[in-house]
Structure 1
Amino acid sequence: MSEVRARRPWSLRTRLVVAAVVLIAVVGTVIGTVTTIAFRTYLYGQLDIRLKDVAMRASGPSADGAERLPGDLPHRPPLDFVTGGGTPVGTVGAIVEDDGSVDRAVASTQLEPSGPAPTESPLDAAQTAALAALARDGRPHTVDLPGKGGYRVQYATGVRGSFMVGVPTEDVQDALGTLVLVEVCVTGAGLVAAGIAGTGMVGVALRPLRRVAATATRVSELPLHSGEVALHERVPDAEADPRTEVGQVGAALNRMLGHVGSALAARQESETRVRQFVADAGHELRTPLASIRGYAELTRRGRERSEVGVPPGRRPWGRDSAGPDTRHALGRIEAEATRMTGLVEDLLLLARLDAGRPLSYESTDLSPLVVDAVADARAAGPGHLWRLELPSEPATVHGDGPRLQQVLVNLLANARTHAPPGTTVTARVRPAAARTPQAPGHPPAVLLEVEDDGPGIPAELLPHIFERFARGDASRSRHAGSTGLGLAIVHAVVTAHGGAVTVRSVPGRTVFAVTLPSGPPGPTAPHTSGTYDSQEGHRLITRP
């Protein structure tokens, strides 16, 4: 079976040139047609004037009111107008009798162009019949005389009698044929010239579009699917002028390439963060897993003094019955498992927040949460000075209480871990400055601050402080640092609540500020304004 090949589509350049040539051809045809019609009308008008003059010479004045002259006057032959001066060669004339018949039809003939004067030659029966068949209304008519060609013939009557006179249309037809030939030649030459010039002009006009296409082609050849891609290809400014159609295409392509470049950069940054995240998570998990494996191997191979001399069937079961080495190993296994469980739970929480899992929102007062978190932090870090500043009114927000509690715990743990003993840590709750209009009946946004007078955060770490596994020390030891997920969880939870968290740090003062949207006021509970001092015990020192 033969396959029908699809016709190759025309390029834009070819379509534009063909369209221009066709348009020029249509315009040329219309102009030539109108010119030919006008010229034909003019030539036939001139021929009709000459025919009318010949008819007047043949018939004389009108016979109305005058006596008609006899047609056989010897001194004035009736058909002398055929060969008389001023008439073209080939003029025909015929006498119309009173009964309407045509008699003695003749035509002027000149045998040689430079010979004697024209002479009469009689018309044959067919030619005479063609003259006799014309309407006798006194108006010019076009007739084809057999053997002689086209004639312009008119019926005329006057004092000399009635005649059929005609003049040949050969000269008019020749002039019209010459005009049509010239128009066709000129139009054809113009179309060829228009095609050649149009091809060049369209090629020059489409050159910017080809440059735009070349830019798009170079971009399509870049390996954009993977790796770090530097998308620097752009359409030149000369082809990106929005005042032209091609410039609009170039400008739109540049904007698209800019968006694609931003998206690729964001993708690469995300991939880098993911790779770093996976590497850090693997590093964090490798340490407790290695510890668990080592202590388990030690427990399996170790020999306890308490088991010496005891029959295998009577050896006691349980941890309390194990020897000190086994108990130490089991304790380390439990500690590392607990550490790994906390790390996995933090990773799971971040994954859920990234997936947009909904939180349990309810009206929550931050003051009790802060009091509990500071009390727990004091128990974990007795070497620090813990201070608490609470407002006199409830600081109500619309949020998830356990998650907000985790935010407080992580911020206080961060201060406890990275600030040396003796550092004063202050947890503060107060209304935030209202930057946007609040709903009627709602208090302004609530600001939660955790401030310490420790050594501060390194300046190079501040832009990345809320990233996952971002830590100021290079150590992976739990005793020397942290897993680096605490502040990332703070940022994720606060963002999920529609709030914002910022940090300001200089040596001697570091402040983490959490701004949360206020919620509807909950049940009023007694609040005491003042500060909580860890050196004074578990009580609030009330201001007067």
Structure 2
Amino acid sequence: MTLRRRLVLSIVAIVVALSTVIGAGSIVALFSIQRSAIDEQLSGATNRAQRSVERQGTNGPGPEIGRPSGQAAGTLTVYFLDGNVAVGSVLDENGDIDQVAPSAARALYGVTFHGAAHTVDLGTDLGRYRVTAVSLGSAVLVVGLPMAPVYESVWKLFGVVLVVTALALLAATGVAAVVVRRSLRPLERVAETASSVARMPLERSDALDGVRVPDTDPRTEVGRVGTAFNRMLGHIGNAMQARERSEQKVRQFVADASHELRTPLASVRGYAELTRRMGADLPQDVVYAMSRIESESLRMTSMVEDLLLLARLDEGREVQFADVDLTGLVLDAVNDAHAASPDHVIAVDVPEEPVVVPGDAARLHQVVVNLVTNARTHTPEGTRITVGLAPVADGVDLTVRDDGQGIDPEFLPKLFERFARADSSRSRSAGSTGLGLAIVDAVVQAHGGRVAVASVPGDTVFTVHLPATRPADAGARAASGDEVTV
């Protein structure tokens, strides 16, 4: 249940409870006041009836006992003599005397005569009466007044209370809904801001938009929440800026180091090659050592070039857009792979018409080569590798599929990270730098595309989606980020 609904229901419940208490108290108070008034009237009626009996003397009262001067309509008078009803009458609205039914008279016989009033249900047409009894020697005089007017007033008040409570309930519901909605509007805006921040990839600190000033009033609870939220966003922004500066320094260091390392590596490779070619006068083990130095310098040069490429891609450089024939790139890469790995079965699945996308031909060629090389390197001999192109609605899908042993599911989330290496059981050759797939991911994102992988034993497929149009910012990385599917 939402906070708004809980608050509205709480307010409505309070209104109902207060209305119930006030209504019940009013009804009880009205009943008590009117009963007290009836008791006062009953005391006067009893005195008048008693004086009327005393005036009639020893012969005993007659029917006129119920009609002394000043008695109100509905007054009940019953005279018991030796336990028997001598006279019993009720004064009607016209001042006439009606006889009391025997059953009603019997109901009055047990009334005590200590002076207190009692409420007795006489049944028949009389209903409830407020009665009192006095002793006159061996006789008992009972006088009563009807309670019907009291109950009628109480029921009318009960109806009024119900109507007023219903109206108050409706009014309270409407007012509470409006007041709570207006009161919670700042909180909703704060929650909206928090949700929008939560949906952001938070790749840049300038993307953090805090709570607006009206919702940061420290005198209110919501304002304090908004202020704390803005303070938290400030800390996050500072941390992200520090991280950006640190990453920028690392990227700059990698770029500078890679650039500076190329010259000494070229010298090492050149001198090693020169020494190896003059190896006629050198011992065989020295010639072998020189060949190993040359080989390792070549591998280190390749790694340095990859690092330099990644650093430049991080800075938004190294991508020159033009129309690229992907079909030709795929065929060239497959032909090269046939020569490099004749023990693998490498096939192509491309449309008859050339597939053209905007991009950098050299970089896209590197994507295809790296994916095919990755499939060759990490699958045993005889594995079938299929490179395919499939035009889709918003671009082109390039797929590299193999029927090898698959990729460890635990390794999939970090597959495109730099220097990431799969378990040694998948690799059949050493020397991998762990940068090939990172370059694929960086180049594809620089083209505004995305790369995904799905792998089960016997079927591993890398899918590169390239958009049909050039991205608005050619150097920007795709907002969608990496997508890894198991």
Q: Equivalent residue for 1:53?
A: 44
Tell me if structure 1 keeps the 8 A contact 2:113–2:135: no
The answer on 1:174 being equivalent to 2:152 is yes
Q: Equivalent residue for 2:121?
A: 144
The answer on 1:197 being equivalent to 2:175 is yes
| Post-superposition offset of 1:318 | 9.2
Cα pair distance change 1:318/1:11, threshold 3 Å: closer
Q: Equivalent residue for 1:370?
A: none
Tell me if structure 1 keeps the 8 A contact 2:53–2:65: no
User: What is the identity, as a one-letter code, of the residue corresponding to 2:210?
Assistant: R
Q: Equivalent residue for 1:106?
A: 89
Aligned to 1:155, what secondary structure does the other structure show?
strand
- The counterpart of 2:109, out of the listed 124, 132, 142, is 132
C-alpha distance in structure 2 between counterparts of 1:318 and 1:42, whole Å: 127
Q: Equivalent residue for 1:44?
A: 35
- Counterparts of 1:271-420 in structure 2, within 5 Å, are 271-302=247-278, 317=283
User: What is the identity, as a one-letter code, of the residue corresponding to 2:16?
Assistant: A
| Post-superposition offset of 1:71 | 4.5
C-alpha distance in structure 2 between counterparts of 1:280 and 1:254, whole Å: 38
TM-score of the two chains, using structure 2 as the length reference:
0.55
Tell me if structure 1 keeps the 8 A contact 2:48–2:68: no
Aligned to 1:206, what secondary structure does the other structure show?
helix
Aligned to 2:209, what secondary structure does the other structure show?
coil
Residues 311-350 of structure 1: per-residue CA shift (max 9 Å, x gap)? xxxx56499xx9xxx9xxx9xx99xx9xx9xxxxxxxxxx
| Post-superposition offset of 1:160 | 12
- The counterpart of 2:66, out of the listed 57, 63, 82, is 82
- The counterpart of 1:207, out of the listed 178, 185, 206, is 185
Aligned to 2:57, what secondary structure does the other structure show?
coil
| Post-superposition offset of 1:17 | 0.8
Q: Equivalent residue for 1:34?
A: 25
C-alpha distance in structure 2 between counterparts of 1:168 and 1:281, whole Å: 111
Q: Equivalent residue for 2:11?
A: 20
User: What is the identity, as a one-letter code, of the residue corresponding to 2:64?
Assistant: D
C-alpha distance in structure 2 between counterparts of 1:178 and 1:149, whole Å: 18
| Post-superposition offset of 1:295 | 1.3
| Post-superposition offset of 1:79 | 4.5
| Post-superposition offset of 1:39 | 1.4
Cα pair distance change 1:169/1:222, threshold 3 Å: same
C-alpha distance in structure 2 between counterparts of 1:251 and 1:94, whole Å: 83
Q: Equivalent residue for 1:349?
A: none
Aligned to 2:206, what secondary structure does the other structure show?
coil
User: What is the identity, as a one-letter code, of the residue corresponding to 1:222?
Assistant: M
Cα pair distance change 1:209/1:252, threshold 3 Å: same
Q: Equivalent residue for 1:119?
A: 96
The answer on 1:248 being equivalent to 2:239 is no
Residues 115-135 of structure 1: per-residue CA shift (max 9 Å, x gap)? xx3322222221111011222
Aligned to 2:78, what secondary structure does the other structure show?
strand
| Higher Rg of the two aligned structures | 1
C-alpha distance in structure 2 between counterparts of 1:275 and 1:51, whole Å: 105
Q: Equivalent residue for 1:93?
A: 77
| Post-superposition offset of 1:276 | 1.7
User: What is the identity, as a one-letter code, of the residue corresponding to 1:174?
Assistant: E
Larger % of helix: which? Answer: 2
| Post-superposition offset of 1:25 | 1.1
Q: Equivalent residue for 1:7?
A: none
C-alpha distance in structure 1 between counterparts of 2:198 and 2:283, whole Å: 70
C-alpha distance in structure 2 between counterparts of 1:192 and 1:81, whole Å: 56
User: What is the identity, as a one-letter code, of the residue corresponding to 1:297?
Assistant: E
C-alpha distance in structure 2 between counterparts of 1:82 and 1:69, whole Å: 12
C-alpha distance in structure 1 between counterparts of 2:11 and 2:20, whole Å: 14
Residues 243-263 of structure 1: per-residue CA shift (max 9 Å, x gap)? 110100100100011011111
Tell me if structure 2 keeps the 8 A contact 1:57–1:81: no
Q: Equivalent residue for 1:223?
A: 201
Residues 174-233 of structure 1: per-residue CA shift (max 9 Å, x gap)? 011111111111111111101101100111111111111121122122111x4x341340
- Counterparts of 1:154-173 in structure 2, within 5 Å, are 154-157=132-135, 162-173=140-151
C-alpha distance in structure 1 between counterparts of 2:266 and 2:112, whole Å: 126
Aligned to 2:201, what secondary structure does the other structure show?
coil
The answer on 1:265 being equivalent to 2:249 is no
| Post-superposition offset of 1:297 | 1.5
User: What is the identity, as a one-letter code, of the residue corresponding to 1:183?
Assistant: V
| Post-superposition offset of 1:154 | 0.6
| Post-superposition offset of 1:167 | 0.9
Q: Equivalent residue for 1:459?
A: none
User: What is the identity, as a one-letter code, of the residue corresponding to 1:186?
Assistant: V
Provide structure 2 residue ranges, at least 5 long, that are not aligned to the other structure.
301-486
Tell me if structure 2 keeps the 8 A contact 1:94–1:105: yes
Residues 465-514 of structure 1: per-residue CA shift (max 9 Å, x gap)? xxxxxxxxxxxxxxxxxxxxxxxxxxxxxxxxxxxxxxxxxxxxxxxxxx
C-alpha distance in structure 2 between counterparts of 1:44 and 1:276, whole Å: 97
Residues 90-138 of structure 1: per-residue CA shift (max 9 Å, x gap)? 22111121x243322222234xxxxxx3322222221111011222222
C-alpha distance in structure 1 between counterparts of 2:132 and 2:10, whole Å: 49
Tell me if structure 1 keeps the 8 A contact 2:205–2:238: no
Aligned to 2:211, what secondary structure does the other structure show?
coil
C-alpha distance in structure 2 between counterparts of 1:82 and 1:174, whole Å: 25
Residues 394-418 of structure 1: per-residue CA shift (max 9 Å, x gap)? xxxxxxxxxxxxxxxxxxxxxxxxx
| Post-superposition offset of 1:85 | 4.9
Residues 24-47 of structure 1: per-residue CA shift (max 9 Å, x gap)? 111111111222221111101110
Tell me if structure 1 keeps the 8 A contact 2:79–2:87: yes
Cα pair distance change 1:119/1:160, threshold 3 Å: farther
Cα pair distance change 1:42/1:316, threshold 3 Å: closer
Cα pair distance change 1:273/1:165, threshold 3 Å: same
Residue identity over aligned pairs, in percent, reads: 38
- Counterparts of 1:521-540 in structure 2, within 5 Å, are none
C-alpha distance in structure 1 between counterparts of 2:86 and 2:252, whole Å: 121
Cα pair distance change 1:157/1:69, threshold 3 Å: farther
User: What is the identity, as a one-letter code, of the residue corresponding to 1:298?
Assistant: L
Aligned to 2:59, what secondary structure does the other structure show?
coil
Provide structure 1 residue ranges, at least 5 long, that are not aligned to the other structure.
1-9, 111-116, 308-314, 341-544
